[in-house]
Amino acid sequence: MNFDYAFAWSILPELFMGLLVTLQVVVLGFLLAVLVGLVLAIAQRSKRTWLHRLSAGYLSFFRHTPLMVQLYVLFFALPLAGITLPAISTGVIGLGLYYGAYIAEAYRGAIEGVPTGQWEAARALDFDAITTWQRIVLPQALKPMLPILGNYLIGMFKETPLLAVITIPELFQAAKQIAGMSYRYTEPYTVMALMFLAISVPTSLLFKFLERRRHV
């Protein structure tokens, strides 16, 4: 088994382009997921039964079905509803909706960790809902959430190969194409795997370091 280093070097630019698309989709998807998660977490706490049930249903459905099939459905269903989006946007939405369901759970734990006294003090000072959430509850809830969010960010990054199934030209897709055209599999997949490791391992170490630093 020979590893053609020259070939590996030559395909780097193409793989790198794919990596850039990957990063783009991950960042946008993550931001959407954080937003979706917050909306769901607030809806879960609502006293209105329909809202509570609806969000519970959403959470259950998105957490018990595979992301890949969800992407398929989005990819084919959206145009039927008259919404034509580029594949990348569909990917971002798919990631956001899926991970939003998981992040909502992280929010729930963190929000419940804020002592009831804080809510009462806000009410005693006649704060309205938005001020209470924005200035009192969320700032206290987000701090313990950061490591969990970091984990989901890394997880999202590693799941991006799935986006290839809806034709997004990310890193994995780039590797597949090179392999398909050159009939050499080792180099593209190895370099791709190394790129994944090169990003996810340092990032996770960074998060661990940040977490430890805050506790000191």
Among 12, 83, 197, 206, which residue sits at the site for another protein (rule: CB under 8 A)?
Answer: 197
Q: Which is nearer to another protein, 10 or 60 (CB)?
A: 60
Please identify which residue in the block is written with the tokens 């000191």: 216
Q: Which is nearer to another protein, 36 or 154 (CB)?
A: 154
Among 27, 39, 159, 177, which residue sits at the site for another protein (rule: CB under 8 A)?
Answer: 159
41 class by beta-carbon count within 10 Å (0-12 exposed, 13-18 middle, 19+ buried): buried
Round to whole Å and give the CA distance between 148 and 13.
33
| CA nearest neighbour of 162 among 56, 73, 67 | 67
Residue type at position 164: A
| CA nearest neighbour of 99 among 137, 160, 52, 153 | 153
Q: Which is nearer to another protein, 148 or 179 (CB)?
A: 179
Which spans of this chain sit near another protein (rule: CB under 8 A)?
A: 1, 47, 60-61, 63-70, 72-73, 76-77, 80, 115, 117-118, 120-121, 123-132, 135-136, 139-140, 158-159, 161-162, 165, 172, 179, 185-186, 189-190, 192-193, 196-197, 200-201, 204
